[in-house]
Structure 1
Amino acid sequence: MAASSFAALVAKGLTTQPFALVDVGCSGGIDPRWRIFEPNLRILGVDASEAECRRLSATERNADAEYVAGFAGLPEGHPYRHKTSVEPVADLIKPRLSYMRTREIRREWLAKAPHDERMRQNEWQTTELADASRPIVVPELLARRGWKDVDYLKIDIDRDDLEVLMSFDGRFEEFGLIAVQLEVMFIGSDSAFQHTFHNTDRFMRRQGFELFDLEVRHYSTRALPGRYIWPTPAETEFGRPFMGEAYYALDPAAGHGGRRTLDAGKLAKLAAIFSLWNVPDAAAELLLAKRATFEPLFVVDRALDDLAAQAQPDRMRPRSYAAYLAEFEKDLPSFYRREGAIGIGERLWAAWRAFRHPRR
């Protein structure tokens, strides 16, 4: 996959400089795509399930990885602690959704299921949990662990995710964060402090981050259940927008230059993140804007060829970056879908591409 090719080129250019990843809500393990940075990958995972943290620690091969059990949130006494929950609204909507009916149907079976199966079914609440009365404030945990330079933060705790995010308020630059992946909710009220997408988006923009990708997950009602997307009951092929994944990052290629000055290593990691997010155009734009900065790390023209290949997954022999741009400048038909109905061949090819290059 071209995204991996480009990220591998970046990882090789960074030599011993680590890629530091913090995963809050790490059940199931970290996303495999970040393993491209090993052996120079640092991992700190946090999850409410003690049983899952033990499992991850036992199976982890990276010596620079740690999994900590605990409920993440805001510190005691914070004015917004326990006030960001979307549950009052969700409690009105969830019972109407088909996945909740499936959970009802499976209740007795799940009660007897082993840990791995319960985690696969996202029934983490039924596993052995950490002490909820002793919350983990993630920035404080990082400070205690001596983590002064973090590249990537992911938050997905199926609870008050906005609380965890708010614990980083004003501290993104302190920790060197350049990219953040967040689970967001498309339900909720007009409250300014609820875990909803509009509040998450405003918060991240105040921190100087821009939205680079947004995935929307649809959930059908039990009145007319849709087919599940995955082998487990969750999002469906149709239904209302319920939750999703938002990808935020700094934008050094912007005309205003962004709020922070990043060194070559941070810029290279950011370009790799863009590619692994499947937004290779943002990576290419960054390479062109900071070409002189990247040249000591890797050959920029080769990197652009890798990114151009990522933009052409349907070609057995993808064009070079220069040839690809030349085709675009000629306004060739290859940049358009054909007029008329979508044929079966095109549909099958689109399905194959989605299978080979899934969005996460």
Structure 2
Amino acid sequence: MSLFVRKLQENGRLEQIQITLFIVGSRKMLVEDDYGSGDWSILAPNLRIFGFDADEDACNAANADLELRQVNWTEKHFPLAISSNVGNSTIYVTQSPDCSSLYPPNEAYVDRLYGFKDSLKVDLTIEVETTNLNTFCREEGIEEVDFIQVDVQGAELDVLRGASSILENSLLGVQVEVEFSPLYANQPLFADVDLYLRNYDFTLFDLATDHQWCRVTRASAPIYSSTRKGQLIWANACYLRDLIGEKSQIQKTTPKRILKLACIADILGFPDYALELLEYLTVHHGDDSQYNFARNIVETLSEIPELVEPGLNALPVINNIQHRL
């Protein structure tokens, strides 16, 4: 749950910004897959969500549900197979639909892992047309994308390669599923994704490994460790920009972009980074009242008993923004 965004929204400080999310692999199978109804909902009505999934039925179901619920944000799902290029490709449809991929399962390796063999067994293959996010944005007239979530079973780097213009010009955050071992044949692994994103000045903030299948044991082994849960196979990697660092090269590094980044960081569970960004805006751009967040910072921190008891004035951040109160 966000810490600072709630107070900013209550005080009308976010009316000037609109945040756009792209979700590639947007099939809604779990409650947390419904981004607009989760933590991101606090940004409504200034929230736009574009979902992409090769499963047309899943997209139609998502769009019908959104229309039925009359949500107060903008969201639409497109039945598109997203990759690095515009062309044709094969989708390997597996017994567990959420394991389907543009890459064939690495059967020889998967068979050695407990619990993966049946899920990644191929039922059929489908020939599809692919497109990329650069092309989609150009055709739809979308100039800025703020955050991308990618979960396409091994083809994540292909999606990111096809989003080079977005990465270079506007993107502030990426959450991407990464594999550390090849569940799919010839797929890029975490090191490849990490290097690619670092070349665009993204910094790794977290590797979420709390899903039950992130770690696996050997299928043939009747034993397992009481201290380790098995081999780490995959994780959700979260990357954010550093817009206030010396090496920041992103275009349009404006106060509005920094405010957007602060909101994204807070929603993703990094309130310390959000506070650093809001403090920076207040100190360096606080002459403009719309970027003076001193009072919002104090009000938010005042709700944390552990900080109030010793006194907020003892905090360096309060001393730094005191002249803006």
Which TM-score band applies after superposition, normalised by the shorter structure? 0.7 to 0.9
Cα distance in 1 for residues equivalent to 2:310 and 2:295: 11
Give 2:293's aligned amino acid. V
SS of aligned partner of 2:82: coil
Give matches, 1:115-154, under 5 Å: 132-154=127-149
Ranked by relative contact order (alpha carbons within 8 Å, sequence separation 6 or more), the top structure is: 1
Is 1:57 the counterpart of 2:63? The answer is yes
What does residue 24 of structure 2 align with? 24
Distance apart, 1:253 and its partner CA: 2.7
Distance 1:87 1:243, change over 3 A: farther
SS of aligned partner of 1:98: coil
What does residue 96 of structure 1 align with? 112
Q: 1:219-242, CA deviations, whole angstroms, 9 ceiling, x for partnerless residues?
A: 23333588xxxxxxxxxx811110
2:205 to 205, 212, 216: 212
Distance 1:77 1:300, change over 3 A: same
Superposition TM-score, scaled by structure 1 size: 0.67
What does residue 250 of structure 1 align with? 241
The 8 Å contact of residues 309 and 318 in structure 1, kept in 2 or not, is answered as no
SS of aligned partner of 2:290: coil
Is 1:296 the counterpart of 2:289? The answer is yes
What does residue 177 of structure 1 align with? 171
Give 2:21's aligned amino acid. L
Give 2:65's aligned amino acid. T
Cα distance in 2 for residues equivalent to 1:321 and 1:179: 35
SS of aligned partner of 2:233: strand
The 8 Å contact of residues 23 and 30 in structure 1, kept in 2 or not, is answered as no
Distance 1:238 1:194, change over 3 A: same
Q: 1:11-30, CA deviations, whole angstroms, 9 ceiling, x for partnerless residues?
A: 43121532111110111144
The 8 Å contact of residues 110 and 117 in structure 2, kept in 1 or not, is answered as no
The 8 Å contact of residues 147 and 171 in structure 2, kept in 1 or not, is answered as yes
Is 1:166 the counterpart of 2:164? The answer is no
Distance 1:278 1:307, change over 3 A: farther
What does residue 190 of structure 2 align with? 197
The 8 Å contact of residues 10 and 269 in structure 1, kept in 2 or not, is answered as no
Give 1:220's aligned amino acid. T
Is 1:267 the counterpart of 2:277? The answer is no
Distance apart, 1:276 and its partner CA: 1.8
The 8 Å contact of residues 281 and 291 in structure 2, kept in 1 or not, is answered as no
Q: 1:116-152, CA deviations, whole angstroms, 9 ceiling, x for partnerless residues?
A: xxxxxxxxx879x9x6421132221122122111111
Structure 2 alignment gaps of length 5 or more: 89-100, 317-325
Distance 1:187 1:308, change over 3 A: farther
SS of aligned partner of 2:63: helix
Q: 1:179-209, CA deviations, whole angstroms, 9 ceiling, x for partnerless residues?
A: 11111111149x9x84211111110111121
Distance 1:45 1:95, change over 3 A: same
Superposition TM-score, scaled by structure 2 size: 0.73
Cα distance in 1 for residues equivalent to 2:295 and 2:77: 37
SS of aligned partner of 1:183: strand
Distance apart, 1:284 and its partner CA: 1.8
Q: 1:304-331, CA deviations, whole angstroms, 9 ceiling, x for partnerless residues?
A: 3577589x6xxxx342498468489xxx
The 8 Å contact of residues 10 and 297 in structure 1, kept in 2 or not, is answered as no
Cα distance in 1 for residues equivalent to 2:44 and 2:309: 28
Aligned-residue sequence identity (percent) comes to 22
Aligned-residue RMSD, C-alpha? 3.8
Cα distance in 1 for residues equivalent to 2:223 and 2:263: 39
What does residue 333 of structure 1 align with? none
What does residue 186 of structure 1 align with? 180
Answer with 291-300 or 273-282: which moved more.
Answer: 291-300
Q: 1:248-282, CA deviations, whole angstroms, 9 ceiling, x for partnerless residues?
A: 12102324455444222221111111122222221
Cα distance in 1 for residues equivalent to 2:62 and 2:148: 18
Larger helix percent? 1
1:240 to 227, 231, 236: 231
Number of residue-to-residue matches in the alignment: 284
1:42 to 37, 44, 48: 48
SS of aligned partner of 1:247: strand
Larger strand percent? 2
Cα distance in 2 for residues equivalent to 1:102 and 1:194: 20
